[in-house]
Amino acid sequence: MNIFEQYESEVRGYCRDFPAVFSSAKGAWMTDTEGERYLDFFAGAGVLNYGHNPEHMKQPLVRYLLGDGITHTLDMYSEAKEQFIRRFQEIILKPRGLDYKLQFPGPTGTNAVESALKLARKVTGRQTVVNFTNAFHGMTLGALAVTGNSHKRAGAGVPLTNTAAVPFEGYLGDETDSLSYLEAMLEDDGSGISAPAAVIVETVQAEGGVNVATNEWLQRLREVTRKHGILLIVDDIQVGCGRTGAFFSFEDAGIVPDIVTLSKSLSGYGLPMALVLMRPELDVWEPGEHNGTFRGHCPAFVTASAALDYWLNSELEDSVRLKAEHVQSSLQEMIESQGVKAVVRGRGLIWGVEFEDHELAAKVSAACFERGLIIETAGIDGHVLKLLPSLTIELQDLQHGLNVISESLSVVLAAETAAAA
Ligand SMILES: *Cc1c(COP(=O)(O)O)cnc(C)c1O
């Protein structure tokens, strides 16, 4: 029994699928204490969009630390925060014509979601928040109440209330239009749903199984919410920061949410940081009404500012869109040539392979790990193999990972055939 199994709580999760002890990492590669190297197709669930320990962020971070740059300020003003806010406005918001105020909540995604939900309820004076089937928004009670997964919900131990789940696009099959359902519920006084404060949505449901909303669906959702005076919250914690190509995942749809949550890859370096964007007129917070000790983690502001250099031109965005085409066609080719019943879907550099046989994804993930590739599963049964490489991954590494997936799938399928015979 290792020290983790001996002393770390049973709640530990990912280490069960990837039981190596990691010691260093660079770019798309991780190394364990035995000297084994692993190609990372997981990227910290979307924290490491720019890869592990990017030089470009490490250098300013190290300079900041060696120069005794202030590390902690609660939410007092700091030079590091000032620089981040200025650059975020100039590089991200202004060129996109977006007018948002910035709130720094505690440094986790779930804290950003809690802030967004509180704010929407405060602004509207309403309690209900509409969420979608298979949504994932975090583990604290408010965020958990808008999360679909029943196993995670049960962990709350108390009722999770003041929410109403409606079907995400495609949840009821291609024939049923889930937004018409939502609209009917909103318009009919007999529907049983009281006027909601907000609708919270992921443009691509990542944990929920890589379910991709179309631009048309998102545009209609924006229309429906606007028409009914409901705030639209886009949770871009996992698929923002370039994961789908553009900085924000909603840019391709041309919509402007009322509130946006960001975290995961925001600091660019894996340092904890979260952000809530709100239309200025929604900023009805009283001073300190939502606070938290770690809202001023200056090293994260330093790397987050440096990460914005990737957004000074369209190089990264263009490369993600090119890689996307390659990943999609490779995966499609793989399932066709191996004759396995599966659906491939994704956007940018988040892709899912949903196998008809729900056992397959976990087996393929395990076979990949044996071959030095770290790749997760998603979806309620873990039935979707989820590709989440760093955006900056070299083409040959991307290809290597795709080859390993294909080889692993064929090994798993061969073992299934042998077992059946
Ligand atoms: C990861 C995630 C969260 C929660 O972030 P934490 O930092 O784990 O609290 C919320 N929403 C989405 C879409 C996420 O992917």
Single out the residue in 248, 282, 311 at which a domain terminates: 311
**Residues 48 and 135 grouped into a single domain:** no
Q: Where a domain ends, among 311, 337, 370?
A: 311
Q: Which helix (H) or strand (E) holds 232?
A: strand 231-235
Q: CB within 8 A of 278, min separation 6: which ones?
A: 100, 101, 103, 116, 119, 258, 259
Number of Cα atoms under 13 Å in the Cβ half of residue 78 = 20
| Distance of CA 340 from the midpoint of ligand 1 (Å) | 32
In angstroms, the CA 197 to CA 123 distance is 8
- The pLDDT value recorded for residue 174 is 84
Predicted local distance difference test score (pLDDT) of residue 175:
83
Q: Is the pLDDT of residue 194 over 90?
A: no
- Specify the ligand 1 atom closest to the Cα of 272: 7
Mean pLDDT of the chain: 97
- For the question of whether the overall pTM of this predicted structure is more than 0.85, the answer is yes
* Ligand 1 pocket test, candidate residues 134, 137, 146, 243, most atoms within 8 A of CB: 137
Shared domain check, 283 and 323 = no
**Which domain range does residue 366 map to?**
3-54+314-420
8 Å CB contact between 331 and 353: yes
Band of pLDDT at residue 90, cut at 50, 70 and 90: very high
Spell out the alpha helix ranges (H) of 188-272: 215-227
> Ligand 1 pocket, 266 CB below 6 A?
no
Phi/psi at 120 (5° precision): -60, -40
- 111 C-alpha to center of ligand 1: Å? 9
Q: Best substitution site from 115, 237, 297, 376 to test ligand 1's pocket, by max atoms within 8 Å of Cβ?
A: 237
206 and 72 co-located in one domain: yes
Last residue of a domain, one of 258, 280, 311: 311
Give the number of the atom of ligand 1 that is nearest the alpha carbon of residue 274: 7
Q: Does residue 136's CB lie within 6 angstroms of at least one atom of ligand 1? A: yes
Q: Is there a contact between 265 and 240 (Cβ–Cβ < 8 Å)?
A: yes
**Ligand 1 near 268 CB (within 6 A):** no
Q: Which atom of ligand 1 is nearest to the CA of 235?
A: 13
Q: How far is the CA of 336 from the centre of ligand 1 (A)?
A: 33
With CA atoms as reference, report the closest residue to 221 among 145, 280, 168, 148: 168
State the average pLDDT over residues 21-36: 98
Condensed to tens digits (0 to 9), the pLDDT of residues 304-349 reads: 999 999 999 999 999 999 999 999 999 999 999 999 999 999 999 9
**pLDDT tens profile 357-368:** 999 999 999 999
What CATH number is attached to the domain comprising 376? 3.90.1150.10
Q: Whose CA is nearest to atom 10 of ligand 1?
A: 137
Note the pLDDT tens digit of each residue in 217-274. 999 999 999 999 999 999 999 999 999 999 999 999 999 999 999 999 999 999 999 9
The residue whose CB lies within 8 Å of the most ligand 1 atoms, and thus the one to mutate among 264, 276, 294, 350, is 264
State whether 215 and 318 are in the same domain. no
**Percent above pLDDT 90 for the chain:** 96
Report CA torsion sign: 19, 44, 157, 192: negative
**Residue in the structure block whose two tokens are 């080859």:** 403
What value does the mean pLDDT take over residues 144-173?
96
Same domain for 83 and 43, yes or no, is no
Do 318 and 294 have their domain in common?
no
213 pocket-lining for ligand 1 (C-beta < 6 Å): no
Distance between Cα 261 and ligand 1 center (Å): 9
Six-digit token pair at 2?
């290792």
Question: Each residue of 115-129: pLDDT tens digit?
Answer: 999 999 999 999 999
pLDDT at 193: 85
| pLDDT surpasses 90 at 295 | yes
CATH number of the domain that residue 251 is part of: 3.40.640.10
pLDDT score at 373:
98
Pocket test residue of 47, 108, 134, 238 for ligand 1, highest count of atoms within 8 A of CB:
238
pLDDT category of residue 53 using cuts at 50, 70 and 90 = very high
The pLDDT, as a whole number, for residue 197 is 98
What 3-state DSSP class applies to 344? strand
Q: How far is the CA of 45 from the centre of ligand 1 (A)?
A: 9
Distance 416 CA to ligand 1 centre (A): 35
Quick one: 213 and 281 in the same domain? yes
CB 140 within 8 A of CB 110: yes
Ligand 1 and 210: CB distance under 6 A = no
Are residue 187 and residue 68 in the same domain, yes or no? yes
List the residue whose alpha carbon is closest to atom 6 of ligand 1. Answer: 109
Q: Does the Cβ of 202 fall within 6 Å of ligand 1?
A: yes
Q: 302 C-alpha vs ligand 1 centroid, how far in Å? A: 22
pLDDT at 111 > cutoff 90: yes
Same domain, 134 and 277: yes
**Total domain count, the chain:** 2
Which atom of ligand 1 is found nearest the CA of 143?
10
For residue 190, report the distance from its CA to the centre of ligand 1, in Å: 34
Shared-domain flag, residues 374 and 286: no
Kindly state if the Cβ of 138 falls inside 6 Å of ligand 1.
Answer: yes
pLDDT category of residue 9 using cuts at 50, 70 and 90:
very high
Residues 169 and 299 in one domain: yes
Q: Are residues 318 and 290 in the same domain?
A: no
